Chain A
Amino acid sequence: MSKPLLVSLMTALMAGCIMHSRLADAPVGRVDLGRPATAEDIRPWEIDITPDGAGLPPGRGTVPQGAAVYAAKCAKCHGPSGTEGPMDRLVGGRQTLSTATPLKTIGSYWPYATTLYDYIHRAMPFDAPQSLTAEEVYSVTAWLLHQNGIIAEKAVLDAATLPTIQMPNRHGFVPDPRPDVSSP
């Protein structure tokens, strides 16, 4: 069985466990607490970006712009080229996952490029989360993907192109097979 098929199967199996009857929209048992949230209310809260690109904002970014953003706002923790640290190494590590010294980076390990946008926007820079503009996030994402040899220097990232990027380790994950260790 192929890994993508396994992943879809896992999703389907987990969905199959749901007790739809208990979750169905039945007014019985509601206690009418809470305030209705309108689409307008929800918009500023809904910052998640999914692998299909849902949630990506307008705007675009390039590798050269990203180099400048990275140098100004990221390099002090992740190193000038993304390989030095001291915090998480972001670049390199390809072909190391099954070796004695695996290096898990964006290029070697992360399965989805969209996760980069989601995470950088919500949580980085560490000392000023959610301070980057959409253009800065697209740009620094582009620079990081380029440094990892995943996109060309001339690539432009936006809501349409980012979800189409195939990450090298896209199919490196398997659904939890545990219990996997047997004992006498």
Chain B
Amino acid sequence: MRVPGLPARSYGGRSSFESISRSAGDSHSLTPLQDLHGVVTPSSLHFERHHNGVPAIDPSRHRVLVHGLVARPLFFTVDDLQRFPSVSRLAFIECAGNSRDQWGGPYDRTVQELHGLTSTSEWTGVKLLTLLEEAGVAPEGAWLLAEGGDAAGLTRSVPLTGEVLSEAMVCYGQNGEALRPEQGYPVRLLLPGFEGNINVKWLRRLKVGRAPFMTRWETAKYTDLMPDGTAYQFSLVMEAKSVITSPSGGQQLRPGFQEIRGLAWSGRGRIVSVEVTVDGGRSWHPAELQEPVLSKCHTRFRWPWTWNGRETILQSRCVDQTGYRQPTREALIKVRGTHSSYHYHGIQSWKIERDGRVRNIHV
């Protein structure tokens, strides 16, 4: 450059040459997985899903009420919450309905359109356990109703298991600054590894009870209909899943070197291995897991490849720390049929056409 650049500014923005974006409908937007580096999703690109819009909440007027089976019902201001001992961790949040089009199809779509309802952020807040101890939960308290302050007043019942008590957080921070409105500003619940919907945003109330509250969001919705007509209920954990993000649907390849890149994650813990195939599953190769490799977090994997210009099929499959292996679509559908809507995590197949175009297919 031979001309002076711009002066410093108080809040940064990206280069004017950059334009990657979420694809947005009215009640959701999808993260551009194919365009991201590393494992953290920029806050501006974190996916959204809401059930009656994004509320504008003044943090100075916001309160979180903790009550029900507690010794001391308490109102907390956002300032109170920020004064408690704080914790931070990275965690993915994935909508239970992510990838739902893959029960049907195949549809000729991008990885963003098919799988973009998942993102990873660094979350900061106070442990849920800290707030519950402050209020003093009665011995019979076994479930927690979490309620949002949006126009849906969304409510979910959270089982107070050991896992929940050791990991759940009431968060006010995301990637180093306040939560974005779409992610629950000023306060949200974080239940690492659980389906997005139960990570209640715009959190205004926590009520301790003996039994699940059986809200609309855990009966009529977010239950998984099986072929015999019964439905799984409180199917909260997001199971191990991986997807190749490059090359991926809608992209155009040229013969030559092409590093295969993708993301893997599991609600049950760390990803321990990812394998990729470039010949439709005849041979599998261990991919390199790129640091950081963290529990309940997007994990990036890479494998070097040279495309020879021939038609082929790419897939990835992952294993988590519990030994759970990501299933094929066929194995998943054999058990759950095609009407369960939620929790699709089958192996993704990308077909490379002779002309280099990449398409979503089912094998």
Contacts and interface: CB of A to CB of B under 8 A. Distances in A.
A149 B138 CA distance: 41
Contacts of A33: 76, 80, 83-84, 134
A173 B223 contact: yes
Interface string A5-43: 000001100110111101111100111111111100110
Interface string A83-122: 0000000000000011000101010011110110011001
Contact of A42 (B65, B324, B335): B65
Contact of A17 (B52, B65, B162, B236): B162
A30 B134 contact: yes
B152 interface: yes
Contact of B335 (A30, A97, A106, A180): A180
A177 B71 CA distance: 34
Nearest to A52: B211
A72 interface: no
Given A174-B231, A181-B331, A119 B216 contact: yes
Contact of A34 (B76, B212, B231, B336): B76
Interface string A172-184: 1111111111111
A48 to B, nearest CB: 6
B303 interface: no
A174 to B, nearest CB: 5
A179 B214 contact: no
A123 B152 contact: yes
B78 to A, nearest CB: 12
Summarize A's interface: helix, strand, loop or mixed.
loop
Given A47-B153, A129-B152, A115 B215 contact: yes
Given A14-B161, A42-B67, A172-B231, A35 B215 contact: no
Given A11-B142, A33-B80, A34-B75, A178 B239 contact: yes
A109 B161 CA distance: 28
Contacts of B137: 23-25
A174 B215 contact: no
A41 B66 CA distance: 12
A20 B319 CA distance: 33
Interface size class of A (residues with CB under 8 A): 35 or more
B327 A98 contact: no
A11 B220 CA distance: 19
A54 B268 CA distance: 35
A176 B236 contact: yes
B332 A181 contact: yes
Contact of B205 (A26, A34, A45, A106): A45
Contacts of A46: 67, 207
Contact of B160 (A23, A41, A172, A179): A23
A30 to B, nearest CB: 6
B335 A118 contact: no
5 contacts: A10-B234, A14-B159, A29-B133, A98-B229, A123-B51
Interface of B: 51-52, 65-67, 71-76, 80, 83-85, 129, 132-139, 141-143, 145, 147, 151-155, 159-163, 165, 204-205, 207, 209-216, 219-220, 223, 225, 227-237, 239, 317, 324-328, 331-332, 334-336, 339
The 8 closest A-B pairs by CB, nearest first: A98-B229, A25-B136, A34-B74, A97-B229, A15-B142, A122-B153, A183-B325, A37-B73
